[in-house]
Amino acid sequence: MDGKSIPLPLSGFVREKQIIGDRKAGTVGPFPVSRSKWWAGVKAGTYPAPVKLGPRTTAWRVEDIRALIETVGASHAA
C-alpha cells in the first residue's frame, strides 16, 4: 500500500484507524493488520484490550500499542 503513514503520538490514547490504518483514506497505521484480524486478536488477548472513553468511543493506550509493536518486532528478529 502506498498510503500515508500515521505516526503514533508520544502519549495518550489512539483509535483503531490510528493503529491499523484506514484503507478508504489511504493511510497505513504502525500495526497494519485487517480490521477483523485486529478485533480477533483483541478478543483472544493477543493484542491490548481497549479502553471505553464513552458510549461510542473505544481507544487504546499508546504505551500498550508501542509495547505490542516492540514485542512483535522482537519475535520476528529472533
- The reported pLDDT for the residue numbered 78 is 63
In this predicted model, what pLDDT tens digit does every residue of 23-54 receive, in sequence order? Answer: 999 999 999 999 999 999 999 999 999 999 99
Q: Which one, of 5, 19, 27, 6, lies nearest residue 51 by Cα?
A: 19
Domain boundaries along the sequence of the chain: 4-77
- The reported pLDDT for the residue numbered 5 is 84
Kind of pairing, strands 13-14 and 21-22?
Answer: unpaired
User: In terms of pTM, does the model score above 0.85?
Assistant: yes
Q: Phi/psi class of residue 49: alpha, beta or left (left: φ > 0; alpha: ψ in -120 to 50)? A: beta
